[in-house]
């Protein structure tokens, strides 16, 4: 819940210890954000972007945990879907 552009240091004192990586993405550039890395984006001008989330055997448990936290009422549906597609991850 930290506003990265104007963080409340009293509420989030550990934010002072962060070291952001900043880049300006040009047309045709790809930015890869590793799993678990928090990130934010500022669009300096109008444009089109595409984002993809990658799930494989090394991270599917974390993805599943996040989905269940975000949508606890959908637990059974999410679990069924993951189990059905688990073989595709191998």
Residue ranges making up the domain that contains 25: 13-89
pLDDT tens-place string over residues 29-50: 999 888 778 889 888 889 888 8
E strand or H helix at 67, and its extent?
helix 60-70
Local structure of 25: helix, strand or coil: coil
pLDDT tens-place string over residues 4-34: 899 999 999 999 999 989 999 988 899 988 8
Q: Is residue 5 situated within a structural domain?
A: no
Q: Is residue 6 situated within a structural domain?
A: no
Q: Is residue 7 situated within a structural domain?
A: no
Query: Can you tell me the distance from the alpha carbon of 72 to that of 64, in angstroms, rounded to the nearest whole number?
Result: 11
Q: Is residue 21 situated within a structural domain?
A: yes
Query: Can you tell me the distance from the alpha carbon of 7 to that of 17, in angstroms, rounded to the nearest whole number?
Result: 12
Q: Is residue 2 situated within a structural domain?
A: no
78 and 70 in contact (C-beta within 8 Å)?
A: no
| Average pLDDT score over residue span 49-77 | 83
Q: Is residue 34 situated within a structural domain?
A: yes
The pTM score is: 0.55
Judge whether residue 86 has pLDDT over 80: no
How many distinct structural domains can be found in the chain? 1
């Amino acid at each position: 819940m930290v506003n990265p552009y104007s963080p409340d240091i009293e509420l989030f004192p550990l934010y002072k210890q962060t070291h952001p990586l900043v880049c300006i993405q040009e047309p045709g550039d790809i930015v890869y954000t590793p799993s678990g890395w928090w990130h934010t984006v500022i669009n300096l001008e109008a444009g089109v972007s595409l984002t993809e989330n990658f799930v494989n055997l090394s991270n599917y448990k974390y993805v599943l945990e996040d989905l269940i936290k975000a949508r606890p009422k959908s637990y059974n549906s999410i679990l069924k879907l993951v189990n059905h597609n688990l073989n595709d991850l191998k």
